[in-house]
Chain A
Amino acid sequence: MKVRVDMTMCEDHGQCAIAAPDVFRMNDESKLEYDPNPDDSLLAEVEEAADVCPAQAIFIED
């Protein structure tokens, strides 16, 4: 699947990195890094990350 985070919406809440640690990570500057092409087996956790994003900044495109 393809994952896109709208970085103009992202507010660095870090909730995605808790919900889907295989795909999203807060780096040492507490800025988001993510894998834009995660394996389809990770869909459930990516959907959870998108759901719990306080800024609703995560887009999943299949």
Chain B
Amino acid sequence: MRPQVVVVGASLAGLRAAEQLRAQGYAGDLTIVGAEKHKPYNRPPLSKEALSGHGPDVTVEALSASLAFRPKSSIADVRWQLGSPAVSSDLAEGLLSLANGQVLAFDALVVATGLRPRRLLGDTPTRGRHVVRTVDDAVSLRAALVPAVRAVVVGGGFIGCEVASTLTSLGARVTVVEPLPVPMLRGVGAELGAALRAHHEHTGLQVITGQGVSRLIGATEDAEQVAAVVLDDGTELAADLVIESIGSHPNTEWLQGNGLDLTDGVLCDNQLRVEGRAEIVAAGDIARFPNPRFDDIARRVEHWNMPGETAKRAAVTLADHLSGHATTTDPFTPLPAFWSDQFGLRLQSFGSPGLADTAVVEHGALDDLDGGLVMAYLRKDRLVGAVLVNVPASEYRRYRDAVAPLPLAV
């Protein structure tokens, strides 16, 4: 019988894993299971140009088509099983159950089910509350954006700040509420976070830090429609729209009951093999693995390049298992990278600034971000990350190369 590989997650990671399995010579059956009805598409634009570049009547079909990845011809024969998420699995028996009642048998599995947004507590009010993770989310938010709408973005991370920027450009009056002392603290550190706050406030954004949201209030005439946000200190902010960008949950529930370590994603070894399982690998936002570039602590990394990089390595690991031939034993040491566009600034990050104990201005000035700034992030005096703000792309390679060298221990 032909071997069956099932990729769970019709995401960037799932797509790249399937393509790389073929590139490694895997010729058996391939099925990609997706919770959404769409084939894999590019998510970063959802908080940016996918909102600003379309009118309020943009459809889910048009948006998903415009953001769709172009699968390589090597996976033209893949079976797409879309629109029904995996709900449970029996790894010992090699069985996967979907929400629509289907049961798929597999010899090997790629776990790439990614994340879903965390939500604020409280089931009501129900209307006027948004998240930005899927094309359906973005279409719903775009339709709600009328001029002068009052929007409160809860969570001042990258996605929250990008959404705030995009909504501002579309004429909304936006307030960002962030529980930590500065926005994007974990991504860029306190100094640059404060500088970005000052920059964004200068453009008219209202930023409230050190406050969480304790509850939402519904409208007097319609309790299901959000009308205000109540902060921890009791302050009420009037809101027609609330955008919840307070982090994510890994979609691991369907793997429960198999004895895996599902603490914050799926625990993997350095080769993306799910711990204790030779025939199962994980890729993308859900994979928690050690990167010896930094240390031996397993972490999930939600940076844009990681789904592609982890998927390719996971596929090599799985193809080696299926063929019985080891093609590489090199440690997997990806360099995380992502970008962000907000309030006229382009940020480019290399490495893991969040692991640093010290941040140093390498170039430029914190009070002139438009003029270009380079922050270097050090951990015990070793460069572990760099964030470039409005730096010409022709300079990127130089700074990436400065962060890239591996420590001698690897």
- A13 contact set on B, CB distance < 8 A: 339, 348, 393
A14 to B323, CA, bound (A): 37
Q: Kindly state whether residue A41 has any CB partner on chain B within 8 Å.
A: no
Mask for B353-374, Cβ within 8 A of A = 1, else 0? 0000000000000000000000
B400-A18 in contact (CB<8A): yes
Which of A14, A21, A28 has the most CB atoms of chain B within a 10 A radius of its CB?
A: A14
What chain B residues lie within 8 Å of A15 (beta carbons)? 305, 337, 396
Give the CA-CA distance A54 to B393 in the complex, in Å: 13
Most buried by A among B304, B308, B392: B392
Residues of B within 8 A of A (CB-CB), count: 17
Q: How far is the CA of A56 from the CA of B393 in the complex (A)?
A: 17
Instruction: Please give me the residue from chain B that is nearest to A18 by CB atom.
Output: B397
Given known contacts A18-B400, A51-B308, A56 and B70 CB-to-CB distance under 8 angstroms: yes
Task: Determine whether the beta carbon of A56 is less than 8 Å from that of B42.
Answer: yes
Q: Is B392 in contact with A26, judged by CB distance below 8 angstroms?
A: yes
Cα distance A26–B394 in the bound complex, in angstroms = 5
Write out the residue numbers on chain B whose beta carbons fall within 8 Å of the beta carbon of A27: 394
With most chain A CB atoms within 10 A of its CB, the pick from B337, B339, B392, B394 is B394
Say what secondary structure dominates the interface of chain A.
Answer: loop
Which residue of chain B is the closest to A51 with respect to CB atoms? B308
Which residues 269-308 in B have Cβ within 8 Å of A in the complex?
304-305, 308
Instruction: Report how many residues on chain A are interfacial, defined by Cβ distance under 8 Å.
Output: 15
Query: Does B16 have its Cβ within 8 Å of any Cβ on chain A?
Result: yes
Bound CA span A32–B16, Å = 25
Whether the Cβ atoms of A52 and B339 lie closer than 8 Å is: no
Q: In this assembly, does A35 line the interface, its C-beta being within 8 Å of a C-beta of chain B?
A: no
Say yes or no: A17 contacts B393, CB within 8 Å. Answer: yes
29 contacts between A and B (CB under 8 A): A12-B393, A13-B339, A13-B348, A13-B393, A14-B348, A14-B393, A14-B394, A14-B397, A15-B305, A15-B337, A15-B396, A17-B393, A17-B394, A17-B396, A18-B400, A21-B397, A26-B392, A26-B396, A27-B394, A28-B394, A30-B392, A30-B393, A52-B305, A52-B308, A54-B42, A54-B44, A54-B339, A56-B42, A56-B70
Question: A interface vs B, CB < 8 Å?
Answer: 12-15, 17-18, 21, 26-28, 30, 51-52, 54, 56
